[in-house]
Structure 1
Amino acid sequence: METAIESERKYDVPADFALPAVDGTGEPATHELEATYFDTPDLRLAAHRITLRRRTGGTDAGWHLKTPGDGAARVEHRLPLDRSADGVPAELLAPVRAVVRRQEVAPVARLRTRRVETPVRDAAGRTLALIADDTVDAEAYGEAQHWREVEVELVEGGPEVLEAVERALLAAGATPAAGPSKLGRVLGGRVPAPDRPALSARGTVAQVQRYAREQRAALVANDPGARAGDEDAVHDMRVAIRRLRSTLKTFRSVWPADRAGRLRDELKWLAGPLGAVRDAQVMRGRMDRLTGDFPAAHDRLTHGLADDLDRGRRELTEALEGDRYLTLLDELDAAVDGPPAVGAGRVRRRARKALVRADELLAEADERTGDDRDPHLHEARKAYKRARYAAEVFGKPGRRLAKALTGLQDVLGEHQDAVITGQLLREHAGRAHEAGENGFDYGVLHERQRRAGERALEGLAAARRAASRRRIRRFLG
């Protein structure tokens, strides 16, 4: 499947609009396009700004799936028309499975477009952008519409090309499009809001529910990238799950106890394969940096991590394709979009309790020495992470505390990374010894990690003081 980043701008124009002169424009070409758009009965794809269509005619005929990208950009997934002629290709449904769930995907709109496409080229003949002057006839739910619009899509040019073309179009009478897409225009008010408001919630309870919905949205948004093995998406999806589990635990009174507990268990299950993939990705990069001067150790370590990563990706794909995952998403929707439990409250008190518990665990670690201290520092780190997520719930009042806790968590995290790396080095040193290889390199590397862990803890006292300031904790009471 081909993937591309689409960067374009759309403009509404009157029926008698005359395309203005733009420097570098070439000869226009006319195309007759026919497109069928697919969605669920309740228009879930449109609600999430996702477009799925089958188009004939023009230079890019085929199946197209467009998903939100950074800013105004969109990610477009493409397949040729000779694939799965009897229905939507499975390769295009997989990236949106978290949105459509078990719903059937069927045609919801049909558009016929007469497109006059004009290239914008530089002096070397490179196509910088395409200006598409579209006259559209559309039908959806038995209603017909007709309009004209202009699209400008970047090809090899930069943002300055879009700006220059836009200035010319606006001067000629065009206006920025009122809607984001042709499909959005033809569907109109039928498209639902993607997130329903919390029911019967006020004050801090509503803040908890809003935070949980934001994490649910992050989980779903990163699903396609996680399926593709994108490192950032795997990380962000894993973090969203951590935040959800932490919120369900810290503020468990907001939800019925049985529902919160079951969701935490299911999110923990999903975090397993995500963690296996992410940990292997991170450790592989760490080993690349660490073992550059030790080729034999590098080969053994990276080969093993590559196997771990392949296995983790297979397990993650299996989890995301399974019915258990879809059930988890349905239950998560019911929890974060539904009314709070009877008696929900004392939110600030519960956040304060999470912070005090983290302080206690770090104090307990102070009483330990040597290797015995490491697991206690790790538990404190996890507790401060939960406290940080709790602070994030409160928005602006919690930002300074969350930032300070992030600094403390990072110090403890650097130490824990060194501990885990050292454990991996010891494990592979044993394997190398059994294979008759020289284990000296592993000893050198292990000592480096021990020292790295010690250096990390040199910043602990300062990070601890910063996170303990009364003025940034005061909002919790």
Structure 2
Amino acid sequence: MNQEIELKLDIAAEDASRLLAAKLFPGRRTSVHQDSLYFDTPDGLLQKGGLSLRIRTVKKRKVQTVKLAKAGVVLRGEWELPVLDDVPVLDGASPLKDFLGERGDDLRPLFRVENLRSLWTVRTADAAVEIALDRSTLRAGDRQAQRCEIELELQGGSPAVLFAWARDINTVVPARIGVLCKADVGYRLVQHIAGASKAEPLPLDATLSAGEAFRHIVHSCLRQYRLNEDILLTDSDRSAVHQARVALRRLRSALRLFRPMVKGRRHDRFAHDLQWLTRILGRARDIDVLLSEELPTDIQVLLHEARRKAYADVRAALESPRVRLLMIELTEWTETGRWRSKAKCRDLRDTPVATFARERLDALFHNLGHDGHHLDDMDEEERHTLRKKAKRLRYSTEFFASLYDAGKTRKQCVRFLAALEELQDRLGALTDRSMRQALFDELGLGTVAMPDDGKSAQAHAHMLASAQDALDQLVDCKKFWRDL
């Protein structure tokens, strides 16, 4: 198996000519037409296993390529084999034969990618990088999609050189970290996947170290964010803004969760910038929530205007160099940052992920229970803080959930997460009224009567009792992470 070290950048199709005209890449440019056919079983067995299979034709020469896409944004496993025709070859040179078993005959062509690739090889004294500008058309039946991306593949030297090129490209045309390969786009086309993206399942192997687990978790959060960011760049989509905000909150929770291992000035700057971006998305999300309620017509008109401005602010932020560079540098830090080699953090970095999870979940749970045994003794701000702690515990538990995916432990994990979600919802109901009025004040709308205002005291008492019940049930849940 070859290990492919590459970085993908997404650019707009109309920016490709600008990039070529800038002559940013030294050396001779070569261009080649590629025609790739992607295969899988009808039930997507390869995709589910994190594998892709294609046969690519370039000038009558055909090469079969199997890729393993579970190593993160930068590192991918790859197996290549010359073939005679568009029929997959199953042999022992790649994991295909063992993985498919008796299902090899079920392989079918799923989609085709027609690509014009412009290629440069850039060599310096300490590194060599292959730079490819791809302008592709993907076809699946009567459906098709256009795609323009840059692939930076390291052929020698440090991966840091890939990010140096990414920054240079981003100064010429807007460039964003790519989280979808051509196979991903093709599968989404076949499966009619569109719209906002929730967090995908995060499979963590129990043999991973805490440091490697952190990389996988960050990449999962970045993927969710980028999929929703692409929607928000062209559409004021309420589901996409919600899921992009969730992705940023997950990312901030990951930085906080692993802070003892990755702390430093760059960590703190990323945390600050992510908080800034979360607030901008949060304003749009809060207005969307208000508009889902029954409100007087004049208030709705004012809120729709506030929504238009909030989404304009979202788009301005996402289109800014600050946000594009933030995601490039966050990816770079995750892959090549000093935290990966600091001697004083080595023991923590090399700790088995199950041990790290046990210690961190214990600490988060203790912090939650210690602060929240008597909700009626807390003011609204304290209950809001408790809700944020519950959310961090939930995200952290979800990060590590695949470690507890067997038998009784799996059921205990599912129950624990359900109890956490219930507590979040009930604490949210308690704080929604005050937070809603605060937003009305910020928008200059003053006091707005709501349909249930006449029975607010009774409703508040009921919600408080419900939240206390949810907290008590959570405290009584089995601490399943202690058994691994």
- TM-score, normalised relative to structure 1: 0.55
Matched, 1:304 2:313: no
Higher Cα Rg, which structure: 1
Q: How does 1:55-204 map to 2 (within 5 A)?
A: 87=17, 109-110=32-33, 143=59, 176-177=108-109, 180-183=111-114, 202-204=208-210
State the shift of 1:450 in Å: 5.1
Distance 1:277 1:107 in 2: 45
Q: Which residue is equivalent to 1:263?
A: 270
Tell me how far apart the structure 2 counterparts of residues 335 and 230 of structure 1 sit (CA, whole Å). 30
Equivalent residue runs for 1:221-240 within 5 Å: 221-227=227-233, 228-240=235-247
Pairwise CA distance, 1:350: 2.7
2:8 alignment counterpart: 44
Alignment of 1:407 onto 2:417? no
Q: 1:254: Cα distance to partner?
A: 2.7
**SS of aligned partner of 1:386:** helix
2 CA distance for matches of 1:455 and 1:334?
49
Taking the aligned partners of 1:259 and 1:300, their CA distance within structure 2 comes to 46
Whole-Å separation in 1 of the counterparts to 2:25 and 2:364? 40
Query: Kindly tell me: are residues 258 and 428 of structure 1, through their superposed partners in 2, closer, same or farther at Cα, counting changes over 3 Å?
Result: closer
Amino acid at match of 1:219: Y
Shift of 1:476: 7.8
Question: Per-residue CA shift, 1:257-302, capped at 9, x if unaligned?
Answer: 222211110101111211111111111112xxx33xxxxxx12321
Change (3 A) 1:428 1:328: closer
2:102 corresponds to: none
Q: 1:356 to 1:332 in 2, by over 3 A?
A: same
Shift of 1:86: 9.1
Inter-CA distance 247–428: structure 2 relative to 1 (3 Å threshold)? closer
Report the equivalent of 1:244: 251
Q: 1:107 to 1:232 in 2, by over 3 A?
A: farther
Kindly state the Cα deviation for residue 186 of structure 1 after the two structures are TM-superposed: 9.1
C-alpha deviation, 1:238, in angstroms = 0.3
Match of 2:315 among 314, 317, 331: 317
- 2: distance between equivalents of 1:175 and 1:446? 61
Matching residue's letter, 1:236:
Q
- Judged with a 3 Å threshold, the aligned counterparts in structure 2 of structure 1 residues 406 and 208 are, in CA distance, closer, same or farther, namely farther
Partner of 2:387: 381
Change (3 A) 1:274 1:107: farther
Contact 1:216 1:332 (8 Å CA) reproduced: no
The answer as to 2:214 corresponding to 1:208 is: yes
Residue of 271, 281, 284 corresponding to 1:274: 281
Structure 2: tracts of 5 or more residues without a match = 1-5, 37-54, 63-83, 87-104, 119-129, 133-150, 154-177, 182-202, 405-412
Give unmatched runs, 5+ long, in structure 1: 1-41, 54-83, 90-101, 114-135, 150-172, 292-297, 433-440
In the TM superposition, residue 88 of structure 1 has moved relative to its aligned partner by 7.8
Query: Hey, what's the Cα distance between the residues in 1 that align with 2:461 and 2:440?
Result: 17
Is the 1:388–1:402 Cα contact (8 Å) retained in structure 2? Answer: yes
Please give the alpha-carbon distance, in whole angstroms, between the structure 2 residues aligned to 1:207 and 1:317: 32
The answer (yes or no) to whether the contact 1:277–1:309 under 8 Å persists in 2 is: yes
Partner of 1:29: none
2:366 counterpart (342, 346, 356): 356
Secondary structure (helix, strand or coil) at the match of 1:471 reads: coil
- Deviation at 1:312? 0.9
Aligned-residue offset at 1:318 = 1.0
Aligned partner of 2:432 among 397, 407, 417: 417
Equivalents in 1 of 2:270, 2:392: separation in Å? 17
Tell me the CA shift for residue 365 of structure 1: 4.0
User: Whole-Å Cα distance in 2 between the matches of residues 249 and 426 of structure 1?
Assistant: 31
Between 1:204-213 and 1:409-418, the stretch displaced more is 204-213
- 1:429–1:442 contact (8 Å) kept in structure 2: no
RMSD, aligned α-carbons:
4.5
What are the Cα deviations for residues 97-120 of structure 1, in whole angstroms up to 9, with x where unaligned? xxxxx999x99654799xxxxxxx
Q: Determine the structure 2 residue equivalent to 1:328.
A: 326
Flag the 1:333–1:380 CA change in 2: closer, same or farther, 3 A.
Answer: same
Q: Aligned-pair distance for 1:427?
A: 8.5
Question: Displacement, 1:331?
Answer: 1.9
Q: 1:442 to 1:195 in 2, by over 3 A?
A: closer
Question: Which SS does the other structure have where 1:44 is aligned?
Answer: strand
Change in Cα spacing, 1:358 to 1:250, as seen in structure 2 (3 Å) is same
Q: Deviations over 1:105-163 (max 9, x none)?
A: x99654799xxxxxxxxxxxxxxxxxxxxxx9975xxx5558999xxxxxxxxxxxxxx
1:352-374 deviation line (CA, Å, top 9, x unaligned): 22222222232364424xxxx22
- Taking a change above 3 Å as real, the CA distance of residues 454 and 249 of structure 1, as seen in their structure-2 partners, is same
Q: How has the CA–CA distance of structure 1 residues 107 and 280 changed in structure 2, closer, same or farther, with 3 Å as cutoff?
A: farther
Structure 1 residue 326 displacement after superposition:
1.4
- Structure 1's 353 and 425: CA in aligned 2 closer, same or farther, altered over 3 A? same
Q: Which moved more, 1:201-210 or 1:328-337?
A: 201-210
Aligned to 1:367: 377
User: Aligned letter for 2:334?
Assistant: V
Identical pairs, percent: 20
In 2: Cα distance, 1:112 partner to 1:473 partner: 50
TM-score by length of 2: 0.54
